[in-house]
Structure 1
Amino acid sequence: MQLVKAGLCAFGMSGKVFHAPFLKEHPGFFISAIVERSKEESKEKYPEATICRSVEEMLQHADVELVIINTPVQTHYEYAKKALEAGKNIIVEKPFTVNVEEAEELVKLAEEKGLFLSVYQNRRFDRDFQQVKKVIHEGKLGNIKEAEIRFDRFRTAPSGKQHKENPDQVGSGSLHDLGAHLVDQAIQYFGYPEKLFADVFSMKGSEFANDYFEILLFYKNDLRVRLKSSVFTKEDHYAYKFHGDRGSFLQERTDNQEAELVAGAIPAYGKEWMQPLKEADGILNYLNENSETERIFTSSEAGNYMDYYQEIYEHIVFGYPLPSPGKEVIQNMKIIDASLKSSKEEKVIVL
């Protein structure tokens, strides 16, 4: 099996949870280098990886061919550009960049260098997202007229992370953080909208970056899609609500890969490593072919973030399609930028 040598730009939560475990367990990857500016925490689990004290130092390693940009979003453009100029293929954590101009420049540079740029949109591999996608594909809802996708949390106290909560830092706040997932999911389901209206602000106060947003996407055929997130939501049942002219589908946000990984789970390669659900997590209520109402409790199948890295590997080795290419994710950045503009100017933005 061809071995792809990878380097991680950081070993914080993202590196420890979302990237290093999968790179280690996938037989087609080898973690060649990890950036730790002062510590050596990675040595325990990844002793074969060279510890570098800066991204620039890691980029000098000739054997590193794939670089994962998993640093704060405010540094994505700088490090991604340096990696591409060093001749490395790159994976950029979501959100892609702080604005669409940076995203477009990076995509252009990757194309000029003949390198690939993928954005780590891991929520495409969540069980709940995939279950909704399956129901839409089955067509039991008919023509979908209204949809709502939420990603709520109950985090009323500040985290202390300046790159996420300082309103003076471009790219901080929930819109770039969780909104990057919701916008991506909406585009995956329905494509690019015609226009939008957004409300983005901080419930914790103006001294903090936005922690609440609501985006209304307008599509052709009178479809309306609402994306919403709040950090003051202690309980809310269904994260996905889809209504069509033949029925409705409600789906809970039940994927717990992140929680399992944080707790120390090892993601197995080539097989499911998540346990099946013990109870249903969705409701499908629709008119069947005889126009009779059927109300069914549904259970989603386990998601697997390993599938993302499998697709990356297959792209490198076999030339298969690249997952979430940067050129595609530019659309996400356009919607995020337009949402900020809409909220500030209090008007509908034509895309």
Structure 2
Amino acid sequence: MANSTINSPLNVGVIGYGLSATVFHIPFIAITPTLKLHSILQRNPGQSGKSAPHDHPDVKHFTSLDQFLADADLDVVVISTPPQTHFPFAQQALLAGKHVLVEKPFVPTVSEADALIKLAREKCRLICVYQNRRWDSDFLTVRKLLADGTLGRVVEFETHFDRFRLEKPSTWKGTLSMAQGGSALYDLGTHLIDQAYVLFGMPRSVFGVLASQRDGLLLGPQNPDLEPDSVTAQLFYDDGLIVLVRIGSVSAEVRQPRFWIRGTKGSYHKHGLDTQEPQLRSGLKTEDANFGREGPEWNGKLTLVGDDGSFIEKDCPNVEPQTYSKLFELFGEAVVRNREEDLPVPASQARDVLQIIEAIRESARNRREIQLS
């Protein structure tokens, strides 16, 4: 898609005013030169203890989606609501002539993703998906190690989001069904599978096991309606690479595993999650010098094979953080140029990730490996 450029800063309206909006979107919109917070749609200000009009008195406020989208000055819509609302909200925004940034998971199904991609192109508007963990510093470190060939040919790639949480979340992450875009597979699994997709592309086939570790149950013919809090999925590639995606809710570890990568020239082992989410939740500002930085005690471990066949282990600090601000920077620039190919996370890529997720669901239900075209 190539069209005339648009004046910036772009007026951005945010739908929703929960954690996603207040922590992951509005702070970054505020520091992105091409973007300007213009309006917020919060249906019941103050009902949940949060009031957008109170926190942002200098922007426009709406309680009706129709009135929000009818604002002719609005250029971009950010959808930060639960996943079952993403399709209708994105569809209405595109029909109103707005560009769209959608929280992950994009939408619950591949068919809905295809419909939105088609509509966006018909309307000459851009639709981008908020896969922010492409800008985790540990993941950027992994990308560099692989791009530099440090580990040689990668044969096994393990990626984890493990936690010790015996209580089911009361948010959509614990209450929505998989059909609505809920459960660990669509919440955390979207991040991990997206990262694998960025590194290695579409797998040849997948095998998945979905479980409720809290209840001691597996998804399958005996429990067809199970909503998993645990994922064990293998992604198989033509060159022999096996990617293991692991999500657990009953993992009592002081240092939770994150990456374990094995290659013909070495391996990389990392514990702990990227710091940006806990820093943002604690109130650290995006412009703080420590934002996105880990302490040296969380450095990854790099093991390299010496010329004599011996193993050399050393610390592997993360690369210089780009932080989640990079996603907004690239998104703003793509909208100004109105070029789909410049989007940081095109909806077509999120559709591919959903195809992998749907194959994992099918595999878990039928206990067999699923081929991907």
Structures share fold, TM-score greater than 0.5: yes
Q: Normalized against structure 1, the TM-score is what? A: 0.94
Specify the SS of the correspondent of 2:247: strand
Aligned counterpart, 1:241 = 260
Question: What pairs up with 1:77-96 in 2 under 5 angstroms?
Answer: 77-96=87-106
Flag structure 2 segments of 5+ consecutive residues without an equivalent: 1-6, 216-222
**Residue from 225, 247, 255 that aligns with 1:229:** 247
| Structure 1 pair 240–275 and aligned structure 2 pair: CA distance change class (3 A) | closer
| Structure 1 pair 188–162 and aligned structure 2 pair: CA distance change class (3 A) | closer
Aligned counterpart, 2:360 = 339
| Structure 1 pair 248–114 and aligned structure 2 pair: CA distance change class (3 A) | same
Displacement of 1:44 in angstroms is: 3.7
Flag as ranges the 4+ runs of structure 1 deviating above 6 A.
none
Specify the SS of the correspondent of 1:79: helix
Specify the SS of the correspondent of 1:200: strand
What is the aligned-residue RMSD (CA, Å)? 2.1
**Residue from 311, 314, 318 that aligns with 1:293:** 311
Aligned counterpart, 2:195 = 185
Work out the CA distance in 2 between the residues paired with 1:135 and 1:345: 37
> Percent identity of the aligned residues?
31
AA in 2 matched with 1:258: E
**Residue from 277, 294, 308 that aligns with 2:295:** 277
Work out the CA distance in 1 between the residues paired with 2:91 and 2:297: 46
Work out the CA distance in 2 between the residues paired with 1:4 and 1:272: 29
Work out the CA distance in 1 between the residues paired with 2:158 and 2:294: 26
Work out the CA distance in 1 between the residues paired with 2:251 and 2:37: 38
**Is residue 120 from structure 1 mapped to residue 139 from structure 2 by the alignment?**
no
Provide Cα deviations, 1:266-322, integer angstroms capped at 9, x if missing partner: 2129x8744452335211111246655321111113341111111112212345711
Residue pair 1:166, 1:208 contacting (<8 A) in 2 also: no
More off after superposition, 325-334 vs 203-212: 203-212
Displacement of 1:144 in angstroms is: 0.8
**Is residue 27 from structure 1 mapped to residue 33 from structure 2 by the alignment?**
yes
Aligned counterpart, 2:147 = 137
| Structure 1 pair 164–113 and aligned structure 2 pair: CA distance change class (3 A) | farther
Work out the CA distance in 2 between the residues paired with 1:251 and 1:59: 44
Which gives a bigger RCO, structure 1 or 2 (Cα 8 Å, sep 6+)? 2
Residue pair 2:274, 2:292 contacting (<8 A) in 1 also: no
Residue pair 2:276, 2:291 contacting (<8 A) in 1 also: no
AA in 2 matched with 1:64: L
Question: What pairs up with 1:147-158 in 2 under 5 angstroms?
Answer: 147-158=157-168
Displacement of 1:169 in angstroms is: 5.3
AA in 2 matched with 1:133: R
Kindly tell me the number of residue pairs found equivalent between the two proteins. 350
Question: What pairs up with 1:299-310 in 2 under 5 angstroms?
Answer: 299-301=317-319, 302-310=321-329
Displacement of 1:142 in angstroms is: 1.1
AA in 2 matched with 1:3: P
Work out the CA distance in 1 between the residues paired with 2:152 and 2:173: 43
Work out the CA distance in 1 between the residues paired with 2:327 and 2:178: 33
Work out the CA distance in 2 between the residues paired with 1:73 and 1:218: 28
Residue pair 1:281, 1:299 contacting (<8 A) in 2 also: yes
More off after superposition, 203-212 vs 123-132: 203-212
More off after superposition, 230-239 vs 282-291: 282-291
Aligned counterpart, 1:268 = 287
Provide Cα deviations, 1:135-192, integer angstroms capped at 9, x if missing partner: 1111121111111101112221122235642448532100000000010011111111
| Structure 1 pair 189–289 and aligned structure 2 pair: CA distance change class (3 A) | farther
Specify the SS of the correspondent of 2:239: helix
Flag structure 1 segments of 5+ consecutive residues without an equivalent: none
